């Protein structure tokens, strides 16, 4: 079986972590070798950059933020994602390029052409086989975030207008040919039932 590259994306509190656990269980039940990672992160270097990017005390302008994200992504691709795909395994990433356009273009206001040029220059423009973009109401997202019992990170601390722009960005990104919009309202099993058919489709030759 050929390797498949899948990304799971969406704003804060849409339930990605829960659905990643469902995807992991589904892969295991279907005897699919799968690797899992996250962005920013995915490598020791990427995790160091993640700590900086999510730290509420970090002061970074939008372009500096973007460059750190792309540096982490290049390491993620070269050291983790591509080797996994090369041996025929599936790779599932918690966030990827859709997050960059949603947060840094729609949220921060960096022109999409600037992001695209930097992606091309850094070799971070690989398109996934499938992008699952989760969306829920702001009320549902707030309830899920409050249930975590964790302090908010740098992005979660942004105001409601920022998160509304990010949500609109994700809606726009979900129109791409390789992307699928997933209604993340409802209990975890119901949401995964909306994801499963897209995973099944990737198993076809």
89 phi, psi to nearest 5 deg: -85, 165
**pTM attached to this predicted model:** 0.92
pLDDT band at 205 (very low <50, low <70, confident <90, very high): confident
* Segment 14-58, tens digit of pLDDT: 889 999 999 999 999 999 999 999 999 999 999 999 999 999 999
Burial of 109 (C-beta count, 10 Å sphere; 0-12/13-18/19+): exposed
How many Cβ atoms are within 10 Å of 8's Cβ, its own excluded? 27
- Extents of the domains making up the chain: 5-202
* DSSP-based helix, strand, coil % in the chain, nearest 5: 55, 15, 35
Q: Quick one: which H or E segment has residue 54?
A: helix 44-54
Q: Comparing C-alpha atoms, which of 50, 41, 162 is closest to residue 94? A: 41
For the packed helices 44-54 and 62-76, what is the interaxial angle rounded to 10 degrees?
160
Tokens (6 digits) for 57: 């005390």
Question: Which architecture, in CATH terms, is 5-202?
Answer: 3-Layer(aba) Sandwich (3.40)
* Segment 49-87, tens digit of pLDDT: 999 999 999 999 999 999 999 999 999 999 999 999 999
Q: What percent of the chain has pLDDT over 90?
A: 85
């Amino acid at each position: 079986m050929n390797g498949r590259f899948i990304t799971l994306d969406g704003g804060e509190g849409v339930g990605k972590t829960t659905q990643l656990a469902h995807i992991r269980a589904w892969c295991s039940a279907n005897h699919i070798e799968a690797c899992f990672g996250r962005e920013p992160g995915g490598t020791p270097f990427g995790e160091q950059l993640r700590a900086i990017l999510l730290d509420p005390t970090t002061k970074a302008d939008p372009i500096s933020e973007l460059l750190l994200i792309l540096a982490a992504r290049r390491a993620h691709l070269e050291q983790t994602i591509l080797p996994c795909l090369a041996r025929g395994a599936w790779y599932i990433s918690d966030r990827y390029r859709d997050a960059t356009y949603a947060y840094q273009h729609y949220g921060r206001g960096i022109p999409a052409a600037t992001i695209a040029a930097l992606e091309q220059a850094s070799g971070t423009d690989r398109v996934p086989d499938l992008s699952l973009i989760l969306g829920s109401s702001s009320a549902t997202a707030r309830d899920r975030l409050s249930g975590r019992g964790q302090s908010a990170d740098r992005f979660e601390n942004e105001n409601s207008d920022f998160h509304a722009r990010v949500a609109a960005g994700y809606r726009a990104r979900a129109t791409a040919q390789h992307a699928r919009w997933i209604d993340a309202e409802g209990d975890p099993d119901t949401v995964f039932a909306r994801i499963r058919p897209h995973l099944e489709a990737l198993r076809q030759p």
